[in-house]
Amino acid sequence: MRRHQAPLQRFGTLPNGVRTMKAFLFVSASLLGIAGISTNTNAESYPWCAYYAKDGGGAHCGFTTFDQCMADVRGVGGYCARNTQYVPHPDPRSR
């Protein structure tokens, strides 16, 4: 009398449900990545940058006035300079 045995799975094969879920996750992650790359962001630009003398000399260009910038570097070392990448927003009244 023969006993029925379950078919043996080869090493490395996955059941259909797991294979489908992995494919779904891969496609979803790919689409989210593409959407994140193509998203247009409008970074705010400010006219003054603080250049820090400590720890490798980082920079932070997020100040609207020279006094704001100087208040930030005062006591920690560094200096302030105009942001060369600053582009003022167009005046909405000039349209």
Any residues with CB less than 8 A from the CB of 58 and at least 6 apart, and which?
Answer: 51, 52
| Residue numbers of the chain with a pLDDT score lower than 70 | 1-14, 35-43, 54-55, 94-95
By the 10 Å C-beta count (0-12 exposed, 13-18 middle, 19+ buried), 90 is classed as exposed
- List, as one string, the DSSP characters of the chain: -PPP-PPPPPTT---HHHHHHHHHHHHHHHHHHHHHHH--------SEEEEE-STTT-EEEEESSHHHHHHHHTTT-EEEEE-TT--PPPPGGG-
By the 10 Å C-beta count (0-12 exposed, 13-18 middle, 19+ buried), 50 is classed as buried
Q: How much of the chain, in percent, has pLDDT values that exceed 90?
A: 29
Q: Which two tokens stand for residue 84?
A: 């060369």
Q: pLDDT by residue (tens digit) across 29-46?
A: 777 777 666 555 556 789
